[in-house]
Amino acid sequence: MSTSPTTGTILDKIVAHKRREVAERQSLVPATLLERSLYFHNQPLSLRKYLLRDDLSGIIAEFKRKSPSKGWINQHAPVERTTLGYMQAGASALSVLTDGEFFGGKNEDLTIARRFNYCPILRKDFVVDEYQILEAKSIGADAILLIAAVLTAEEVLRFGQLARSLGLEVLLEVHNAEELTRTLHPDAVNLVGVNNRNLHDFSLSLDTSKELAEQIPQEFVKVTESGLTSAADILMLREAGYRGFLIGEAFMRNSRPEKACYSFVQELHATEPITLI
């Protein structure tokens, strides 16, 4: 039995549901079938490398229909148009929610995004079992998310090593210094994401990313998540060492998320300091 930490929040409810859901999917689609997928033997793209490119924005644009705290954000946005638009607008990578119960996503959303985009795609879900990592590879993901708040250090290591053996990169999400110290394994993690949302009251503060920046070793690409609403936020956190900026709700609450992304990237370019040669 897992000894994963508990948070006393909606996260516990999500994880309990996810364990039941994964057990059901495993009984219907065994791992041997996942390994026959069109995408399973493809070479994934490197999220890390794309975020480190100086010619790109560093924005990971997220496709997210709803959230537990906000309900439906954008129920009808088409995956193909939105994700293509994100990349044409200047995003560096995509994040696709595949959780259905709490976020309105599905595996097919990521597969559609994969079919129409040549860029790294992060599968955003709540990984609690090795099966989900095989599943991520089979639906065309390039990277997975591991959430320190719901995993033990041993689970992060085991899941991360499996993912990397399949060529997938691993974004470890943390909310505080304790989670970072407890779960950061160089052999299992490529990128560290700091979530600015407080799990207990859903409040947001970019100070979380600023405070943790210096505690993340230089070998890991730093990603900041949640609460990013302006180009000024990006510039401030770049100064703190962040190279990845995951933005979902700020785009998705617009009827045309890809247009919101375009406006954001244009604002970012307009405010970036000019480098004299």
Amino acid 32 reads T
Coil, strand or helix at 179: helix
| Locus of tokens 């993912």 | 163
The architecture CATH gives domain 10-271: Alpha-Beta Barrel (3.20)
pLDDT in tens, 60-82: 999 999 998 889 999 999 999 99
Distance CA 214, CA 228 (A): 19
Name the packing angle between helices 130-138 and 10-28 (round to 10°).
70
Please determine, for residue 1, whether its predicted confidence score (pLDDT) is greater than 50: no
Distance CA 41, CA 205 (A): 40
Asked whether the CA dihedral 238, 241, 246, 249 is positive or negative, the reply is negative
What integer pLDDT is reported at residue 7 of this predicted model? 52
Catalytic positions are 62, 64, 124, 173, 195, 225-226
Distance CA 162, CA 154 (A): 12
Beta 169-174 vs 93-97: how paired, if at all? Answer: unpaired
pLDDT in tens, 151-169: 999 999 999 999 999 999 9
What integer pLDDT is reported at residue 199 of this predicted model? 78
Each domain of the chain, given as residue ranges in start order, spans 10-271
